[in-house]
């Protein structure tokens, strides 16, 4: 059997080869320019389910990462506020010690009231316009006392705290939930009680604190030093709890970054092109196009029409 060789048949075969070579060149060119093995999931048919799952995890980790950055910033702000309250308690203790050392109380009441304001402002600290220590009442100022006389006006200490009992919790990754909420009354109940004790004495029969200290005033202040040490220690412990949460978030952030890097590497192993191989494929495809074009041109020149001219 003899296979007939015809000009249309030759043209058809050469044209098909030319088109195939051009497609290969385009694919190889896309791979080199994008540095990827494909443009969508259908180009990774064998690994599409795995890629979908890994990208889903990658997205979830990104959400945790963004949330934890905000949470870490909030805890930093809480730490600053708690430090301010603890510093106020320490300052009152220092004011008492200095008055005892000098034997005078010329500005004692004013100094103590200034530290009350510092402590209250710390407990009324805000983040993003919301009160940090108000529980769920984030738009309500959690501590309402402003002066020493407020504390001895009659209402109980508890009435000066407007926070509820809701403590904010946050899910920092798939397996970890952190309670970040701290309540104003947990921070300041004993603190305001200590301020109240001072003001009650100042307004009582052995007061007020002006000029030289009396023996009774010296005895009272000496007895208050240990109480203020205890108040400051309790607030410092709350700040330490906040610091533990900060450290946990740092550890989780490091773990999330490690997992993201690992996922990016695994995804890259599937989607990223081998650039050396891709460059070689592009060169080969370009050569194939040139060869097919040359054959096509040669076929045109060998046509019967050209021979009859």
The predicted-structure confidence for 214-268, as pLDDT tens digits, reads as follows 999 999 999 999 999 999 999 999 999 999 999 999 999 999 888 888 887 776 6
Return the structure tokens found at 42: 């259908």
- Quick check: 18 and 296 in contact, CB under 8 A? yes
Q: Which two tokens stand for residue 188?
A: 């300041």
Say whether pLDDT at 103 is over 50.
yes
The more confidently predicted of residues 301 and 44 is 301
Torsion sign (Cα): 39, 44, 48, 52? negative
Mean pLDDT of the chain: 83
Say if residues 142 and 134 touch (Cβ distance below 8 Å). yes
Determine which of 104-113, 137-146, 261-270 has the lowest per-residue pLDDT on average: 261-270
Query: What number is the average pLDDT over the span 56-62?
Result: 84
pLDDT for the residue numbered 207: 92
For residues 191-203, give the mean pLDDT.
98
Q: What is the pLDDT of residue 123?
A: 98
Percentage, residues of the chain above pLDDT 70: 71
Cα 132 to Cα 64: distance, rounded to the nearest angstrom: 21
Please return the burial class of 190, using the count of CB atoms within 10 Å of its CB with bins 0-12, 13-18 and 19+: middle
Question: Is the per-residue pLDDT at 296 higher than 60?
Answer: no
- Are 164 and 137 in contact by the 8 Å Cβ rule? The answer is yes
Mean pLDDT in residue range 148-153: 96
Residues in Cβ contact with 186 at an 8 Å cutoff, skipping those fewer than 6 apart: 238
Q: Where are the beta strands (DSSP E) in 38-129?
A: 126-127
Task: Find, among 211, 144, 170, 140, the residue nearest to 64 by Cα.
Answer: 170
Q: Which DSSP helix (H) or strand (E) runs through 307? A: helix 304-308
Predicted local distance difference test score (pLDDT) of residue 7: 54
Q: Decide: 192 and 145 in contact? Cβ < 8 Å.
A: yes
Q: Smallest Cα–Cα separation from 242: which of 96, 74, 11, 95?
A: 74
Contact yes or no for 255/173 (Cβ under 8 A): yes
Is the preceding omega at residue 208 within 30 degrees of 0, hence cis? yes
Q: How many CB atoms lie within 10 A of CB 302?
A: 11
pLDDT (average), residues 277-289: 60
Rounded CA-CA distance 182/102 in Å is 39
Cis status of the peptide bond prior to 170, with omega within 30 of 0: no
What gap in Å lies between CA 114 and CA 148, rounded to an integer?
10
Residue with tokens 């009396």: 214
Residue 22, C-beta contacts closer than 8 angstroms, at least 6 positions apart: 289
Model confidence, pTM: 0.73
Going from the C-alpha of 114 to that of each of 58, 117, 129, the distances in angstroms are 51, 5, 24
């Amino acid at each position: 059997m003899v296979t007939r060789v015809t000009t249309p048949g030759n043209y058809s075969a050469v044209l098909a080869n030319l088109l195939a070579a051009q497609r290969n060149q385009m694919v190889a060119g896309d791979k080199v320019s994008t540095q990827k093995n494909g443009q969508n999931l259908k180009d990774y048919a064998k690994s599409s389910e795995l890629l979908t799952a890994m990208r889903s995890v990658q997205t979830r980790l990104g959400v945790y990462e963004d949330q934890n950055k905000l949470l870490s910033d909030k805890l930093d702000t809480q730490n600053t506020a708690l430090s301010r309250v603890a510093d106020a308690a320490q300052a009152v203790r220092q004011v008492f010690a200095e008055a005892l050392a000098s034997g005078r109380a010329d500005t004692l009441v004013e100094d103590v009231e200034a530290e009350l304001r510092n402590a209250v402002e710390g407990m009324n600290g805000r983040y993003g316009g919301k009160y940090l220590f108000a529980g769920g009442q984030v738009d309500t100022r959690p501590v309402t006392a402003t002066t020493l006389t407020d504390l001895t006006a009659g209402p109980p200490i508890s009435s000066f705290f407007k926070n509820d009992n809701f403590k904010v919790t946050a899910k920092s990754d798939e397996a970890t939930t952190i309670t970040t909420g701290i309540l104003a009354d947990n921070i300041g109940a004993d603190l305001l009680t200590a301020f109240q004790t001072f003001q009650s004495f100042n307004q009582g029969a052995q007061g007020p604190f002006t000029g030289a200290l009396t023996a009774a005033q010296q005895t009272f202040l000496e007895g208050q030093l240990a109480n203020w040490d205890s108040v400051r220690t309790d607030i410092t412990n709350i700040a330490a709890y906040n610091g533990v949460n900060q450290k946990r978030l740092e550890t989780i952030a490091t773990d999330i970054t490690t997992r993201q890097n690992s996922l990016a590497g695994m995804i890259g192993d599937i989607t990223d092109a081998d650039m050396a191989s891709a460059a070689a494929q592009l060169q080969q495809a370009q050569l194939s196009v040139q060869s097919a074009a040359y054959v096509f041109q040669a076929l045109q020149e060998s046509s019967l029409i050209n021979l009859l001219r």
